[in-house]
Amino acid sequence: MSTTPMRLAVLGSGKGSNLQAIFDAIDAERLHAEVICVISDVEDAFILERARQRGVPAEYVDGAPFRTRLDGDAERRVIDLVRQHGGTHIALAGYMRMIKAGLLEAFPGRVINIHPSLLPAFPGLEAWTQAVEAGARESGCTVHFVDPGMDTGPIILQRSVPVLPGDTPAVLHARIQQQEHLAYPEALQAIAEGRGGAPTG
């Protein structure tokens, strides 16, 4: 394993519980990485506060005029910030925008996402609600490399959870998140050790 830690930029839009799991794994020496910046498209997102509490640069990048994708000036700004801070990999942690070709080409095979389903089942938004409404008996989470599609990139690691009788979407989501907080650091460590099966860029 390289003695140089993976230099992670984390992109998120919400509370940042997966960012906290990454911090916790670094502190416990289960993940050989350093979070070099956190970027959000939501100015008051708590993920930015988590970064500030840790002393990690916290950057707000307005995604306007686009609502659902990172593109144009905003995409260029994110690329510049990651490069300025010396990031080698990008981890998406609840980032609610589609990633486009510019970012993927700037960091080929080094953009990673976690999704709350066992892909290819239930891509897209609120996968836990999709699972409950479909009557699925099993769900979970998937860590995968990002490609231009909707949750279609190569899978690195999956963890499953049962969908229990009477589960509401919120209850299932909470059970999935417990596994996310284990899976994401584990998958990132596999990449840091060269075991992640990174696609060639």
> Contact at 8 Å (CB) between 44 and 125?
no
Contacts of 91 (CB under 8 A, 6+ apart): 8, 9, 10, 11, 18, 22, 112, 113, 184, 188
Amino acid at 83: R
Q: What are phi and psi of 152, to 5 degrees?
A: -115, 0
How far apart are the two ends of the chain, measured CA to CA in Å?
A: 21
Pick from 197, 161, 199, 153: nearest CA to 180: 161
Catalytic residue among 115, 144, 173, 181: 115
CA 3 vs. chain centroid, Å, equals 24
Q: Is 115 a catalytic residue?
A: yes
**Catalytic residue numbers, as ranges:** 115
